[in-house]
């Protein structure tokens, strides 16, 4: 491309002469007027000096593509073909071709390509991104439709910029992170994420609703159990008071009269004395059973809410147990349902009572053990001991005995182990799995109340 002043012309040569921008040359060749704009073909060049390169003309793409007057009509626009110009715009595309890098620039909805020769095949603009605002400086090469135009206007069909070096492209503003490709990807992913979020929120709402219903059901069940326990406690105290003030007083009066009758019976026949003695023994047995029932009824209401404290409280209230019974705890304390505490409390009373009354024990060690899924109570004494099998065979309906304790543990889903030998003391161990009880697999609704009914 040859330029002089404000005019320029394209010159094509088949020689391998190399020139630099700014070289002043003489050119000879054949003028070709078969195209819309004339050019030199088969040109020969001779360098004659060096000239200063003129400043580039800032133009727009729209101005480059404007038609100009033909044959010198008045009002024609400036001929920019072959001139050094600068164009500002957005990078619309970057393409590395064989030996050159082509950058497409957009401005005002119009596009123009600009090319620069690569050096050693390396990318010229490795950090340039689509969407960047650039200023491209290069020599304009306008293209026209084939043939000589008719009428009085030349209208370019396209334009092309030839950059001299990579420095002819200046980045005015880096490309934004949101490129068209990323925007398209976001347009696909954002609805997908929203759909996933909606599904997740819906599932979470259902989970919260389900868990809330379960929690409400558990709270209602717990409230019902608390009300039932409170009613049971009040009924126990009322029943204990009625028995103490009524039946207990009647029994005391009957025993007083029976003692008087036995005293007078010494002068009566022997058969009558035996009958009166049997009646006196039966009254004393009934009074003992009634006292045990009253003890069981009142301990569940008067004692502490925790199982260990309940056992300690019960042991302290028995005067003839003082100094003989010690209570200890192993493991972290866990809540024990009231019904289970009632059954274990009566088993504790029966075992300690037997150890002191029948076994003549001088020491009774009570140990409450807490496990991850259950609770156990162990009562060990240094008494006379006995043969458990023989005791079961001799048990009758006048007292609970070992069969009664086993029945009680079976009702709450527990296990009972009795170890004893004559002269070696006795060890009674009871274990209850709390998880089964709380889950309703074993749901004891009767505890100490049943003891009173059976008596």
- CATH code for the domain of 41: 2.40.50.140
Q: Examine the domain organization and report whether 66 and 116 are in the same domain.
A: yes
Three-state SS for 120? coil
Domain count within the chain: 3
Tokens of 184: 């398209």
Rounded to 5°, the CA angle 238-244-245 comes to 90
Residue with tokens 């496990």: 371
Q: Examine the domain organization and report whether 42 and 159 are in the same domain.
A: yes
Q: Examine the domain organization and report whether 145 and 35 are in the same domain.
A: yes
Instruction: State how far Cα 253 lies from the chain centre.
Output: 71
Q: Examine the domain organization and report whether 162 and 272 are in the same domain.
A: no
Taking residue 413's Cβ as centre, other Cβ atoms within 10 Å add up to 18
Q: Examine the domain organization and report whether 200 and 103 are in the same domain.
A: no
Which DSSP category does 239 fall into?
H
Helices and strands counted in the chain (H then E): 10, 18
CATH classification at residue 326: 3.30.565.10
Q: Are strands 57-59 and 84-97 parallel, antiparallel or unpaired?
A: parallel
Helical H segments across 131-179, by residue range? none
What is the rounded CA–CA span in Å between residue 183 and residue 166? 30
What is the rounded CA–CA span in Å between residue 323 and residue 366? 13
What is the rounded CA–CA span in Å between residue 324 and residue 322? 5
Q: Examine the domain organization and report whether 184 and 144 are in the same domain.
A: no
Q: Examine the domain organization and report whether 28 and 58 are in the same domain.
A: yes
What is the rounded CA–CA span in Å between residue 87 and residue 35? 26
Taking residue 233's Cβ as centre, other Cβ atoms within 10 Å add up to 15
Taking residue 114's Cβ as centre, other Cβ atoms within 10 Å add up to 23
Instruction: Return the exposure string of 331-361: e unless at least 16 CB atoms fall within 10 Å of the residue's CB, then b.
Output: eeeeebbbbbbbbbbbbbbbbbbbbbeebeb
Q: Examine the domain organization and report whether 225 and 339 are in the same domain.
A: no
Phi and psi torsions of 69, nearest 5°:
-65, 150
What is the rounded CA–CA span in Å between residue 62 and residue 108? 8
Rounded to 5°, the CA angle 247-252-254 comes to 95
Among residues 165, 166, 145, which one has the least CA distance to residue 154?
A: 145
What is the rounded CA–CA span in Å between residue 196 and residue 15? 67
Q: Is the pTM of this model over 0.85?
A: no
* Listed residues 302, 330, 354: the one ending a domain: 302
What residue numbers bound the domain in which 202 lies?
177-302
Judge contact between 365 and 377, C-beta under 8 A.
Answer: no
Q: Examine the domain organization and report whether 262 and 247 are in the same domain.
A: yes
Tokens of 208: 């919260």
Tokens of 127: 């950090």
pLDDT one digit per residue (tens) for the chain, 455 residues: 777 776 777 788 887 777 777 788 888 888 876 666 667 888 888 888 887 777 888 999 888 888 766 544 444 456 787 788 999 999 999 988 878 899 999 998 999 999 998 877 666 787 788 889 999 999 888 887 765 555 556 778 889 999 988 889 999 998 888 777 778 888 888 999 899 989 989 888 888 888 888 888 877 776 776 677 677 667 666 666 656 555 656 666 676 677 777 677 666 677 776 777 777 776 766 666 666 565 555 554 444 568 888 888 888 877 778 889 999 999 988 888 877 888 888 889 889 988 988 889 999 999 999 998 899 999 999 999 988 877 766 655 434 467 878 888 888 889 999 999 999 999 999 999 887 665 554 444 444 343 333 32
* Listed residues 285, 302, 319: the one ending a domain: 302
Tokens of 50: 């060096």
Which DSSP category does 311 fall into?
H
* Listed residues 261, 286, 302: the one ending a domain: 302
What is the rounded CA–CA span in Å between residue 206 and residue 98? 62
Q: Examine the domain organization and report whether 167 and 182 are in the same domain.
A: no
């Amino acid at each position: 491309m040859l330029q002089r002043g404000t005019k320029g012309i394209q010159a094509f040569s088949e020689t391998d002469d190399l020139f630099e921008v700014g070289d002043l040359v003489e050119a000879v060749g054949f003028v070709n007027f078969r195209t819309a704009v004339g050019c030199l073909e088969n040109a020969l060049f001779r360098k004659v000096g060096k000239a200063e390169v003129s400043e580039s003309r800032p133009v727009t793409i729209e101005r480059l593509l404007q038609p100009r007057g033909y044959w010198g009509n008045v009002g024609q626009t400036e001929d920019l073909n072959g001139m050094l110009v600068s164009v500002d715009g957005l990078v619309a595309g970057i393409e590395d071709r064989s030996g050159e890098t082509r950058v497409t620039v957009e401005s005002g909805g119009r596009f123009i390509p600009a090319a620069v020769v690569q050096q050693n095949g390396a990318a010229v603009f490795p950090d340039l991104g689509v969407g960047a605002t650039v200023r491209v400086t290069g020599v304009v090469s306008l293209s026209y439709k084939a043939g000589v135009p008719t009428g009085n206007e030349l209208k370019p069909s396209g334009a092309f910029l030839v950059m001299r070096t990579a420095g002819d492209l200046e980045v005015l503003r880096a490309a934004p992170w949101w490129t068209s490709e990323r925007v398209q990807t976001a347009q696909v992913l954002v609805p997908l994420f929203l759909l996933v979020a909606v599904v997740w929120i819906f599932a979470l709402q259902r989970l919260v609703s389900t868990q809330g219903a379960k929690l409400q059901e558990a709270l209602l069940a717990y409230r019902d159990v608390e009300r039932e326990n409170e009613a049971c406690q009040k009924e126990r105290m009322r029943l204990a008071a009625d028995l103490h003030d009524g039946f207990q007083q009647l029994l005391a009066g009957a025993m007083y009269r029976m003692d008087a009758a036995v005293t007078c019976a010494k002068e009566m026949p022997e058969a009558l004395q035996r009958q009166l003695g049997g009646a006196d023994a039966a009254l004393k047995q009934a009074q003992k059973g009634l006292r045990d029932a009253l003890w069981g009824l009142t301990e569940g209401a008067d004692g502490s809410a925790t199982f260990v404290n309940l056992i300690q409280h019960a042991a302290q209230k028995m005067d003839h147990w003082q100094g003989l019974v010690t209570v200890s705890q192993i493991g972290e304390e866990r809540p024990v349902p009231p019904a289970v505490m009632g059954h274990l409390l009566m088993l504790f009373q029966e075992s300690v009572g037997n150890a002191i009354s029948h076994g003549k024990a001088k020491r009774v060690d009570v140990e409450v053990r807490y496990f991850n899924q259950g609770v156990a109570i162990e009562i060990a004494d240094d008494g006379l001991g006995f043969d458990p099998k023989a005791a079961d065979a001799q048990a009758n309906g006048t007292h609970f005995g070992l069969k009664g304790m086993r029945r009680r543990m079976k009702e709450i889903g527990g296990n009972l182990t009795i170890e004893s030998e004559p002269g070696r003391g006795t060890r009674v161990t009871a274990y209850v799995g709390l998880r089964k009880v709380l889950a309703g697999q074993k749901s004891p609704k009767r505890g100490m109340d049943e003891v009173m009914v059976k008596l």
